[in-house]
Chain A
Amino acid sequence: MNRAFHRILQVLAAAALLATLPAAAQQFALERDSPLYAEPRLDSTQVTQLKQGAGGEVVGKQGAWINVKTTAGSGWLFSFNVRFQARGDTGDTGGSAESRGLGSRERVRITSTIGIRGLEEEDLKQASFNAAQMKLLDGYVATKEAAEERARGAGLASEKVEYLGTKP
């Protein structure tokens, strides 16, 4: 009885350990030579300069920045300068900070899309006006006021932001 209980505890402990193992880290490769910054800011001190093709693991993100671990050190990279490697697995591993936003939310569909033909030019070429679907689409329209109310409910507020290419 006591042994059995002990055994159960062992199994539970093993299960707990498995559950806490980190998800497979997102890998990246640098698209161009880039400074590795100590902080996610362009005016931050630089840990080192990394060369195009250098890679490592993503451990977090913040705005335009990704927090990475490389053999040359840890720090922050401007995310536009990196490219992420396609995950070989078929699913998300639970939405860890680093995979959220950078990896894939798809769980099993990657393999199932192979060989499936999606929407292609030929489909568009053949299609004709679908009045019933247009009616449906019309029915889903949100008013400006309703959309604003929902946004407020989600904690969103308008910000004044100039278009890129103009002075902030």
Chain B
Amino acid sequence: MICNAWIAAVALVAVVGHAGAASIDIGRIFDIGRDVADATKGMDEKDEIAVGREVTGRLLGAAVLVADPELQAYVNSVGRWVASQTERPDLPWHFGVIDSPSINAFAAPGGYVLITRGLYDILDSEAQLAGVLGHEIGHIVQRHHITVMQKSAALSAGARIAQRDGRSAIVNQLIGTGAEVFARGLDKSAEFEADRVGVVLAARAGYNPYGLVEVLHKLAARTGDDASLALLFKTHPHPGERLNQLGDAVTPRVPTLPTGKEPAIRQVSADVPPPAASRPVPTAGTRALQEDSATARSSGKSGGGIGIDPAGVLRGIFGR
């Protein structure tokens, strides 16, 4: 999912030009005359972080953080510890639990990981949390979003054509239907890889390596019409398929993987009400979601009125 998020995120940063992303050298990323695949090669860590920040800020515009500072600090401690086991330990890792009953988790480039309250609530142990966060961290460490763009020959071909019409046309092409379908095909393998990474990262951090497997079992046991899983099932391989893939990869290593620990998971504070139903309460810096939504829908535009479809911006990832 991250892949789609990334692609559209680049588009957003390029076009919307939010202040939070002002440091990105748009000219370098979207240099007219270069195709998109080449452009992504020029994307360095600083760009990744800036784009990830933009994507994350938008997600927080759709669902705010759960108002439990101790929980948030706890998840950051666990996530940071797991991230420290990777080849990118010094990214500015951020973790958060967002107030949504949906079961999902999200990752954005540069070290941003968000997990929904709905998913957090079904976790039984810190090992399971570590597995879920490890999956998300895996997407970021493996730079799946960038890889997808680089591999996307169809995308770059389309972008070349679009270049004739200027930068916004490139953006449209990036997140256009054709490109999105193509990216989805690659998403699946990225999900399987992130699952494999999640298991290993949890093990490296000293946890029971199978926490993520237990969570996948929980998801597989839920029915497809479970409303809390709508977005997840729409954007991910079925958990059963993920279990099959992961099982094949894990089998030869079962005898040697460490047993690991299963510390208890921190509960959400009793003072915090259950997840907000659907719409977040608009806060400072957030456009009131209710306002002019009809207009936005009918025009198919969002943000700065650019002709892009951010539906692909933040696909749930658990996980992506």
Contact = CB atoms under 8 A, between A and B. Distances in A.
A126 B289 contact: yes
Nearest to B213: A79
Contact of B206 (A78, A140, A159): A159
B61 A133 contact: yes
Contacts of B208: 63
B174 interface: no
Contacts of B11: none
A101 B124 contact: yes
B178 interface: no
A55 to B, nearest CB: 13
Contacts of B314: 124
B23 interface: no
Interface string A65-93: 00000000000001111011111000000
A119 B249 contact: no
Contact of A104 (B92, B122, B197, B310): B122
B102 A163 contact: no
Contact of A106 (B56, B85, B121, B260): B121
B87 to A, nearest CB: 10
B92 A159 contact: no
A100 B127 CA distance: 12
Nearest to B290: A126
Contacts of A144: 80, 84, 89-90
B168 interface: no
A31 to B, nearest CB: 7
B92 A141 contact: yes
A113 B54 contact: no
Given A137-B96, A156-B81, A80 B62 contact: no
Contact of B256 (A122, A147, A168): A168
Contacts of A132: 283-286
7 contacts: A80-B246, A101-B211, A120-B231, A127-B59, A146-B80, A156-B207, A156-B261
Q: Which 4 pairs from chain A and chain B are nearest by CB?
A: A80-B247, A118-B102, A156-B206, A127-B61
